[in-house]
A = this chain, B = another copy of it.
């Protein structure tokens, strides 16, 4: 079975909720697919302006929750004062290792966290929705520069 394209997923989501398909939303989504890695609202807005799109920041802020809600995008928390995002459709869930010096971000998969969720659910009677794990430190380069 072939995977639906992101734009298909989004259109079906829109249709199923009496929302409207607009060029703004599709431009934003399109741009998000083309971003390799993590991004924030400012970056996304600048990239769109560079392509002569006139989408406003307000619309980006309004569109992101929709993409998150339909499983295309995820919030990433780098604890630096604003939200970052990444597209995740078809990507495995992963965690982030971030260098406090240069800001480099590496991704890794920690399989043990699935089990942990099961244990927590049993022990505390929770229905687990998800988790976020960030590890931070200094990359090799930034260690030398100290």
- Smallest Cβ distance from A127 to chain B, in angstroms? 5
B136 close to A133 (CB less than 8 A): no
Partner of A126, one of B125, B133, B139: B139
Copies in the complex: 2
Contact with B along A80-105 (1 / 0, CB 8 A): 00000000000000000101100000
B110 close to A126 (CB less than 8 A): no
B128 close to A116 (CB less than 8 A): no
Tell me the A residues contacting B by CB distance below 8 Å: 75, 77, 79, 97, 99-100, 106, 108, 110, 112-113, 116-117, 120-121, 124-140, 143
Top 7 nearest A-B pairs (CB, nearest first) are: A125-B140, A128-B137, A131-B135, A126-B137, A133-B133, A129-B137, A127-B138
